[in-house]
Amino acid sequence: MFSCVSADQIGSSESPSCSCCQPQLRAAARRIDGELSRRGFIAGAGVSLASLGLARSAAAQPAPPRSIPPVVFSNFLLFDGRSKGLRGGLRLLVEGNRIKQIASGNPSPPDGARMIDCGGRVIMPGLIDAHWHTIFAALPISALVSADIGFIFLAASAEAERTLMRGFTTVRDLGGPSFPLKQAIDDGLATGPRIYPSGAMITTTGGHGDIRPLSDLPRRPGGPLSALEKTGGANIADSADEIRLRAREQLLQGASQIKLVGGGGVSSPRTTLDMLTFSESELRAGVQAAADRNTYAAVHAYPPAAIQRAISAGAQCIEHGHLMDEATASLMADKGIWLSTQPFVSDEDTTPLTGQSRINLLQVIAGTDTVYTLAKEHKIKTAFGTDLLFSSAIATRQGFMLTHLKRWYDNADILAMATSVNGELLAMSGPRNPYQGKLGVLEDNALADLLVIDGNPIDDIGLIANPDKNLAVIMKDGKIYKNTLPA
């Protein structure tokens, strides 16, 4: 077949000189196109990004990065990510992608260094969002289930750049096919934050994240994957063996941690927050699959029963937890379990919701004060995240969400939560950490992610909510992405 056509010509723009093969070639091309269209986000995204110049290829690797001269910051007040106050009289030297030195006095700068006078402003670590959805943040769900793959990833790439420009230099992605975009950002082919990807969230039939049309039912064990699963947004697993398989698939693709769904959720209108999904033994299978790769599983859970089941199964991090009670909070504190939660205080923090989703949202809002009060009272290790979904307008509230924490914490503790504390959570991925080095702190040899703030956020945390006006410098990985300071 195609005896006069080379393999390289199939699917290429080059036509065979022999007319006898043209009909067969066109048919083969249609079959290739059909197969690509069926593969969904994960496989199709690689093709789409490659066509946009956003993926590696053997023929065209990205150009080697140009040498970046050392950068010396001076005349600033330092918030290091941990301290309650600010320190002055320092110089901060960045070499490559690391903070080489923070020193007092007036040390001589290296030859060729770029000097940046901060004019007395505050310098602090880049912000970290511990619960973000890189692919799902900006587009409405109607577009995510119907739009072309290339459009979805272009939209996600644009939102990733806006995320960085809001001062969030790192995000932990808690569900979605973010692997290709992460690669493009890491390779310098797109602009955005560091991404700690979970890959597809793993859920049960009827659990949070199962938004399949009813026409996909009944699900046959061993049958074909649904369109939802092909996208990489969620994987359905209804046994311990399936959970192991799906967790291992995400780890194979480069997941830094695993996301397991232990109950219902707000954006899944066929679920309720009180329901449970995986059994304890099923959750344990996912936790163990992550542990076998020397990382951890985060479990989505709202009510006490779901949280306690996850803890019994060995989970090290609970996502949300807004319906927890005193006994559950005490258990989390005793066992050193992380709480990654979000300060939803009104329906302005989400896209408009109706029906069961709105009922679920109102329960979350009602539980927000409880979860933070209990977390603070029991000294639970608490991470800050936003979980903003399905709207580029809502995504702009990322920094504003941080200001909601004023109801429970002082400003220095809020800043620490969104920097050094979140950095400790990221470090739990151990050898699966895609960015080896300290994040969320400004100290010698930490990764060079930092912000220069026009004002003092320890006095006024609201400065974070207006990044366009108040972020004078944004640096990630030693590279300056924004600088409005006088030369």
Say if residue 52's pLDDT is above 50: no
Alpha-carbon distances of 234 from 6, 431, 487, rounded to whole Å: 39, 24, 48
pTM of the model: 0.86
What average pLDDT is seen over the chain? Answer: 88
Fold (CATH) for 127-432: TIM Barrel (3.20.20)
Looking at per-residue pLDDT, the higher value among 109 and 129 belongs to 129
Residues 177-235: tens digit of each pLDDT: 999 999 999 999 999 999 999 999 999 999 998 887 777 788 877 778 877 787 788 99
**Mean pLDDT, residues 260-277:** 95
pLDDT at 66: 60
What's residue 228's pLDDT?
76
The DSSP-derived string for 273-316 is TT-B-S-HHHHHHHHHHHHHTT--EEEEE-SHHHHHHHHHTT-S
Q: Are 259 and 298 in contact (CB under 8 A)?
A: yes
Question: Is there a cis peptide before residue 221, judged by omega within 30 degrees of 0?
Answer: no
Of 42-51, 103-112, 279-288, 443-452, the range with the lowest mean pLDDT is 42-51
pLDDT of residue 7: 35
Least confident stretch, 144-158, 331-345, 427-441: 144-158
- Architecture of the CATH domain 71-125+444-483: Roll (2.30)
Select the more confidently predicted residue: 308 or 46. Answer: 308
Distance CA 261, CA 315 (A): 12
- Alpha helices in 9-80, H assignment, sequence order: 22-51
- Is 296 in contact with 257 (CB distance < 8 Å)? yes
Nearest CA among 440, 443, 405 for reference residue 426: 440
Q: Quick one: pLDDT band at residue 168, thresholds 50, 70, 90?
A: very high
Percentage of the residues of the chain whose pLDDT score is greater than 90:
74
User: Which residue type is seen at 55?
Assistant: A
User: Has residue 16 got a pLDDT over 90?
Assistant: no
Domain ranges for the chain? 7-41, 71-125+444-483, 127-432
Predicted confidence at residue 97, as pLDDT, reads: 97
- Which H or E run includes 114? strand 114-117
The amino acid present at 119, given as its one-letter code, is G
Per-residue confidence (pLDDT) for residue 6, from 0 to 100: 36
In the block, residue with structure tokens 């199962």:
210
